Copies of this chain bind each other. A is one copy, B any other.
């Protein structure tokens, strides 16, 4: 298994990324190879600084870097030799099994659509966030930011692809799919949420358990939480903020620790022809290390193949 990591993407790149890869390398199973994509000279210098040498990590050189603030589509076409551009080239050629980056989220999303492309039949791929549950499990919530505006059919499909992802990657046999809404009754919510409810209810390929509310985000009412990328992004970022707020107040707790973005480290793009993981811009070495461990699970499951089969 080959896991490609963008060495240049993220607020603290390349240092934090390279350090995270070094941390991960020591505990990798023998079948796993890490591929750092980025400026070879800089990466080698960082390896040297840390006295790191391992046959488990290779470097694929990329001249350019897409900055966090750049326009995704423009940047990708102007910088084909950026680390994101090269990473997706490797993924498309199946030279690697997954591409992960803490860089420009928009460029990662557009890069996936331009290179490995959306699975046929997918209206809109989504970014899925792992949401820790108080009982120790994780739910996945989609979309958490790729599509700020979602039509009802898009939301219904999120239920389907989220369900397939949860089944194969989180090993939940019959994932409970719920719609994030402002009341439990089916006539509650925005015009779009009401219409999405009907489509989800009629969708025979999922186990739809109805609406959940904001208070249910962490309480294991669902395995797959369907929402638009606007609501999902705001909820996800609020959830992630709890760790820092409570840490500053001297509170340590196992559940709250799991709301820390570092404990997962990344969010997959679901609905494209391959494995892609997006990490937080502020990613620390620990976040990158944990992302690599989730990336392994994602490659072992290859949920995208099951999604493509289900939609064929």
| Closest B residue to A233 using CB positions | B182
Give the residues in chain B near A191, CB-CB below 8 Å.
148-149
Q: Of A91-99, A156-164, A234-242, A304-312, which binds chain B?
A: A234-242
A245 touches B219 (CB 8 A): yes
Number of identical monomers bound together in the oligomeric complex: 2
B234 touches A180 (CB 8 A): yes
Give the residues in chain B near A234, CB-CB below 8 Å.
180-182, 213-214, 231, 235
Q: A189-B230, A193-B148, A230-B189 are in contact. Are A241 and B253 (CB under 8 A)?
A: no
B230 touches A182 (CB 8 A): yes
Cβ of A218 within 8 Å of any chain B Cβ, yes or no, is yes
| Closest B residue to A187 using CB positions | B71
Q: Which of A120-175 contact B (CB under 8 A)?
A: 134, 145, 148-149
- Give Cα distance in the complex from A149 to B182, angstroms: 12
Q: How far is the CB of A283 from chain B (nearest CB, A)?
A: 15
Give the residues in chain B near A241, CB-CB below 8 Å.
214-219
A182 touches B251 (CB 8 A): no
B253 touches A238 (CB 8 A): no
Q: How far is the CB of A93 from chain B (nearest CB, A)?
A: 32
Q: A182-B229, A231-B234, A235-B235 are in contact. Are A240 and B255 (CB under 8 A)?
A: no
Q: A182-B145, A253-B251 are in contact. Are A190 and B230 (CB under 8 A)?
A: yes
Q: A148-B189, A149-B191 are in contact. Are A238 and B214 (CB under 8 A)?
A: yes
Q: How far is the CB of A138 from chain B (nearest CB, A)?
A: 16
- Give Cα distance in the complex from A253 to B245, angstroms: 11
Cβ of A249 within 8 Å of any chain B Cβ, yes or no, is yes
| Closest B residue to A241 using CB positions | B215
Give the residues in chain B near A256, CB-CB below 8 Å.
246
Q: How far is the CB of A254 from chain B (nearest CB, A)?
A: 8
Q: How far is the CB of A64 from chain B (nearest CB, A)?
A: 23
Q: Which of A214, A235, A246 is packed against the most chain B CB atoms within 10 Å?
A: A214
Q: Other CB < 8 Å A-B pairs besides A215-B238, A235-B238, A245-B255, 20 of them?
A: A134-B248, A148-B188, A148-B190, A148-B191, A148-B193, A181-B234, A182-B233, A190-B230, A193-B230, A213-B233, A213-B234, A214-B238, A214-B241, A215-B240, A234-B235, A235-B235, A238-B239, A246-B253, A246-B256, A251-B253
Give me 9 A-to-B residue pairs in the complex whose CB atoms sit less than 8 angstroms apart, sorted by A's number. Answer: A148-B190, A181-B234, A182-B233, A182-B234, A213-B234, A215-B238, A219-B241, A238-B238, A246-B253
Name A's B-contacting residues (CB within 8 A): 134, 145, 148-149, 180-182, 188-191, 193, 213-219, 228-231, 233-242, 245-246, 248-249, 251, 253, 255-256
